A and B are shown apart, each in its own frame.
Chain A
């Protein structure tokens, strides 16, 4: 069987590293392109997305809310709610900020979605019939003796499986 020279794995590693390099350089550049011409609707959606996926980036979300208020194109956005969201964010109430931003877009947090409409569909600016909003559940820890018992069983099974597979081999 013919074995190829060792430079092939090196070449592959080089290609992968080069790709990661391109990705690392491209990501920040893509993030801040032409902000000043972005409509308020997009700015509000982005601010909401930041608060949901990167809640530590409060300043970035605040910038987007300000940009939304200063944008020339306000179509499909309730600016009063955006102003309230700005105040809520300044007060440190993240959940209320999210709720107001979503309502500013015409969304109805808390209203059951029974028939999805499509990606990025513009919603009518009508009053929400059910303003109640269910909040996210974080990791719910197990209580009482359940946690140590399950951890113990898991550890015994893992170690037992490891020992058995070692012995059988």
Chain B
């Protein structure tokens, strides 16, 4: 081919924009286009974006948490005052703390809904059982992050939560040594702070990486809620994963906006400094279901009920092994009804504890 022909062909090509050139340059170095692998169209729905939104919430928690760690003092003698200082004396401190609070609530709700969606659509079935276990571990870590975070504000509710934690630690015998206030060289509150800001986030990050790698390895689970593809429209169409990421980014913006509005309009209050020897508060709503359980069974009920729930979650792939995926399919129905009763019972316990006078708890 002559040089003149080459020049003419180059001149005939449409000009490439700077954005495209930037993407190409980054792709050459980072392999970004590898993210354009196909995923089924149902991935671009809200129900299949809940896990991604939970991860976005976690990132928001890390970002706002880094801000809060600059001002929070984990010494029990100064913790309460430092939270007051964040609220009243730090620029945007009250807003960031409120955003952190509402983000934690959002993360708890999103993880719970994601778990329910995966269960309802049977996305845990072969070969995804291992990823279900990782997901349950992530839910447990999220619960741990919520609990430790609720203790750090060090008001009466926090102290009572920590006292119950110590009692549960005693029930664990020699395995509960970490929860003893005499273990280690630092106060339990300080050690819980370390767990909240480093141990649990690190474990969460590691587990999320494995979770995402397994999603990539096995592909997105088929949706049982789609109509019969062979009779109607043929195989389900696919979209590039980058489109799913764009959708997730848009929903993430929506989440950030809603959290900002909640943080400005409904900032959380902060109770008075804790006082020993009295029990006068109820736990925050995600932990409220343990309140009546303690009434009925004692402190040991908190431990056993929590263990029972996570054990039941871990057993789900072993119990529900039928190939059927629709939640109302005949062979899945008993497991789905059992799960519905458990979830309904927990919701009912939360409502019961919310309306129950604190009086009856103390007099038990």
Contacts and interface: CB of A to CB of B under 8 A. Distances in A.
Contact of A165 (B155, B254, B279, B363): B254
Nearest to A154: B260
Interface of B, secondary structure class, is helix
Interface centre among B92, B164, B352 (most CB of A within 10 A): B352
B163 interface: yes
Contacts of B329: 1-4
B356 interface: yes
A53 B358 contact: yes
Interface string B154-174: 011001101110110000000
Nearest to B276: A113
Interface in A1-34: 1-4, 8, 12, 15-16, 19-20, 23-24, 26-27, 30-31, 33
B218 interface: no
Contacts, number: 236
B246 to A, nearest CB: 5
Nearest to B75: A114
A46 B281 contact: no
B273 interface: yes
Sort chain A's interface into a size bin. 35 or more
A15 B347 CA distance: 13
Interface string A131-169: 001111111111000110011011111111110110111
A112 interface: yes
B326 A8 contact: no
Contacts of A48: 278, 280
Contacts of B88: 137, 140
A142 B264 contact: yes
Given A8-B337, A106-B277, A136-B271, A20 B159 contact: no
Contacts of A19: 344-345, 348
A95 to B, nearest CB: 9
B20 to A, nearest CB: 19
A155 B264 CA distance: 11
B330 A109 contact: no
A134 B358 contact: no
A119 interface: yes
A52 interface: yes
Interface residues of B, number: 84
Interface in B95-151: 95
B301 interface: no
Contacts of B280: 45, 48-49, 52-53
A31 B328 CA distance: 41
Nearest to A34: B363
19 contacts: A3-B326, A4-B328, A4-B329, A8-B333, A31-B356, A33-B363, A46-B359, A110-B273, A117-B277, A121-B276, A136-B269, A137-B84, A142-B94, A147-B264, A150-B264, A153-B257, A158-B258, A161-B254, A168-B247
Interface of B: 44, 76-78, 80-81, 84, 87-88, 92, 94-95, 155-156, 159-160, 162-164, 166-167, 181, 187-188, 224, 243, 246-247, 249-261, 263-282, 299, 324, 326, 328-330, 333, 337, 340-341, 344-345, 348, 351-352, 355-360, 362-363
Interface of A: 1-4, 8, 12, 15-16, 19-20, 23-24, 26-27, 30-31, 33, 38, 42, 45-46, 48-50, 52-54, 64, 102, 105-110, 112-123, 133-142, 146-147, 150-151, 153-162, 164-165, 167-169
Given A117-B277, A133-B272, 19 more contacts: A4-B329, A30-B360, A45-B278, A46-B359, A49-B362, A50-B359, A112-B76, A112-B77, A113-B76, A117-B163, A119-B279, A121-B277, A123-B276, A139-B266, A146-B92, A157-B260, A158-B254, A168-B247, A169-B44
